[in-house]
Amino acid sequence: MSYEFKFPDIGEGLTEGEIVRWLVKEGDEIKEGQSFVEVETDKALAEIPSPKTGVVLKILAKEKEIVKVGQVIVVFGEKGEAVTLAAPPLKPKSVGVVGELEEAPEEPAVPEKRPAIEKPAFVSPHVLATPAVRALARDLGVDIEKVKGTGEEGRVVEKDVRQASEAKEKPAEPVKPPTKAKKYDFYGYVEHVPLRGVRRSIAKAMVKSKYTAPHVTAMDEADVTELWKIKEKEKKTAEKMSTKLTILPFIIKAVVAGLKEHPYLNASLDDENEEIVLKKYFNIGVATDTPDGLMVPVVKNAGDKSILHLAEELLQLSEKARNRKIDLADLKGGTFTITNYGAVGGMYGTPIINYPEVAILGVGRMKEMPVVRDGKVQIRKILFISLSFDHRVVDGAEAARFLNTVIARLEDPDLILLES
């Protein structure tokens, strides 16, 4: 008997994914547990295993196609079996507070002597609405059964009926036929690149963040001369452990210290319940530049790990991200993000918050600069940093205090070691 395989939720609330590559073709035999398709979801690649042994009867989604969770993408069965797709489900019975309700028969239409607005033949008594709202629906020719109520317990209110009436009166927009992409415009030749994969995920996330959280960016600098000396001194120790020591693990430890003292930066905003959710754990996302676009692996419980442990984990996560072998779990659960754009140049920036987090720290280029210390000009290593934050949750003064805490640890690394 044929089996319709529906695209599953493989990523904590996933709603869609992109078919990257089919690993089988129609007519191939397949074993239970064998990977048969490669999909891209939320910036990660994943191979989906077959739930049963059989034959691939029909592939229903093309490569590069975006499919929804629950959509049938392939049919398995026995060799020579005909493909029979299940019919769409019938309209369910009305459901009330106490369970299923039998549909009432439609009342016969009564002919009218003169033309009038077409009115629904029957108004269900099971729709929550006042008599006045029902009368309004009849007058406007709105089928109240098809109106989604926005009142308490789904009650249909006057506003819902009027909006349904206005929507009914609007003419349907004409469907535009697909147009062939031109290879040139008025000024010269162009190339059309589909917005897919990681770039599509980035685009959606950036728009949601920018148009949800009011961004404000504060900028400062830190003298990391002493920190750099410690990093250079312990670099060989890290190499013996087959890892690479940078200043990023130190920055993570400094950020965690700042988050402990200023918990509103380690939070998210629950708009629906109007609550600020303070996180009691410290999962630090680190933006990573990959050939396919920006990805943000998350170091879980960063405050409990040593500098060398952080360095090792950062190296492993960045390699997995660049090779597209990273697990979805490693991209989830962040409470605060660090983006080190200074590694490729630039001093200051205005990074976009990794929503639903409320803050992100941008790390710029480290530069040797003349600085006055004790009345004398010295050449010091200066690190430029930028903090973008959600002004609904964090005020400017609190953001400045957080930066002061981070800078104090970066300028005096002994504080980091004492807190480890």
Packing angle, helices 248-261 and 307-322, rounded to 10: 110
**Full strand arrangement of the beta sheet holding 35-41:** 44-49, 35-41, 16-22, 66-68
pLDDT value of position 116: 47
CATH architecture under which domain 215-419 falls: 2-Layer Sandwich (3.30)
The Cα 154–Cα 125 span in angstroms is 14
Which CATH number applies to 3-77: 2.40.30.10, 2.40.50.100, 1.10.3720.10, 2.40.128.20? 2.40.50.100
Of the candidates 201, 210, 199, 208, the residue with the CA atom closest to the CA atom of residue 388: 210
* pTM beyond 0.85: no
The total of other beta-carbon atoms located within 10 Å of residue 387's CB is 23
Cα 249 to chain center, whole Å? 25
Per-residue tokens: 67: 């499919």
- For the chain, give every domain's residue range: 3-77, 125-171, 215-419
- Cα dihedral sign, 187-189-191-192: positive
Give the residue numbers marked as catalytic: 391
The residue with tokens 């452990």 is: 241
User: H or E stretch including 223?
Assistant: strand 215-223
Q: Mean pLDDT, consecutive 10-residue segments, the chain of 420 residues?
A: 84 76 91 89 80 90 88 88 64 41 45 46 59 80 84 80 76 64 82 81 84 93 95 89 92 97 96 92 94 90 94 93 87 95 91 95 95 92 97 96 97 84
As a CATH number, domain 125-171 is 4.10.320.10
pLDDT value of position 149: 83
Q: Using CB atoms within 10 A of its CB, is residue 192 exposed (0-12), middle (13-18) or buried (19+)? A: exposed
